[in-house]
Structure 1
């Protein structure tokens, strides 16, 4: 069960925000799709809901729909917000400890990636689409790659025990997705534990972050 009160009022407020986010992402070319939600859902899957999955069996055929069509999907239904992976973007899912290390390393480099945090303690690092995952990541059981044929939830999607939220918003770096290989390298380094590169970012990195924000 959700710890969050999924009342009619709460659902209505988040439904408006979910619809607005879906439309905005669709205008930017992100392949968004409706996902299941914890109460008032259609179909047998609602009773066993713990995390969102595509709300429609034909979700692959819906990808790339015009934003006006996307808006109609969320009209009257507070669907979760999902984005398909494997074309425009991929996502690499790691645990909280690795996620924090990787985020620090990216800040030091002055190149933050869009990062999503889920209430189950898992982090999603969004990148450009890739055709494979490096061996160091692929062989680690704590790492999950969301590539072709997959999807991930985006804020403010309701989740078991809370709501999905941004750790680093896409607009921080002007909506430019980071190169997959570069983020994979950082995540591989983060898997090995704290390094000297985890020291606080120097002022030059902070200046780069400011530039990224001004470009958003």
Structure 2
């Protein structure tokens, strides 16, 4: 999706939408940041980076400041991870299995789809995750000192969008352990027609399991 191919009226409307989303999230306490706009596509797809080098000092900015950041220069919409929200990034197949399990259990979780085929499952921040998640090549934990793009960040291939909007969860981020459990079950091959059972004792960390460090974006 090439921004230069959009009519001027579309570009203007889209930037207004992105700015409004940034302000709305900031008003709810989300640590929102403006990011760079990626020009890569295909194998060159890359995460946007914070637009300000001192971005960590800008977390928790007032919505008026956030509005100013998103006025004028094109940018992406980022949320910093590790203080309020974490994100688990997974591939398409694993994402679909986990989403189906979440539907079965009745636990809605904010889910973001990126145009490179990756999924982001958003949770409340945590200090540890199950080792199976930290050791798997298809799972990336975005925690402390990280950041991820949020809708409607544009890329050449498309636009970051919500698969499950946060308002479905009443704007309350789910406990990380709830999503950890489902992701581990998805890694084991479970899907939406699997019996729903309490497997927390099998998949959640115990006191003698070491923490897995998060990956910065």
* Higher deviation after alignment, 14-23 or 186-195: 186-195
Counting only pairs closer than 5 Å after superposition, residues 188-203 of structure 1 correspond to structure 2 as: 188-195=184-191, 198-199=192-193
**1:98 and 2:85 aligned:** no
Structure 1 residues 189 and 161: alpha-carbon distance in aligned structure 2, compared to 1, 3 A threshold? same
Q: Is the contact between residue 50 and residue 160 of structure 1 (CA under 8 Å) also seen in structure 2?
A: no
Q: Distance in 2 between matches of 1:86 and 1:11?
A: 32
Q: Is the contact between residue 87 and residue 148 of structure 1 (CA under 8 Å) also seen in structure 2?
A: yes
Regions of 4+ moved over 4 Å: none
**1:155 and 2:151 aligned:** yes
- Listed one character per residue, the Cα deviations across residues 48-69 of structure 1 (whole Å, up to 9, x for unaligned) are 8843111110111111000011
- Listed one character per residue, the Cα deviations across residues 1-33 of structure 1 (whole Å, up to 9, x for unaligned) are xx4344462432221111000000000000000
Q: Distance in 2 between matches of 1:114 and 1:105?
A: 14
The unaligned stretches of length 5 or more in structure 2 are: 197-217
The unaligned stretches of length 5 or more in structure 1 are: 40-47, 203-216
Q: Is the contact between residue 34 and residue 82 of structure 1 (CA under 8 Å) also seen in structure 2?
A: yes
2:67 to 55, 67, 71: 71
Q: Distance in 1 between matches of 2:173 and 2:57?
A: 24
Structure (1/2) with the larger helix percentage: 1
Q: Is the contact between residue 120 and residue 160 of structure 1 (CA under 8 Å) also seen in structure 2?
A: no
Equivalent residue, structure 1, for 2:204: none
Normalising to structure 1: TM-score of the pair?
0.82
Q: Distance in 1 between matches of 2:195 and 2:119?
A: 21
Number of residues of Structure 1 aligned to a counterpart in Structure 2: 190
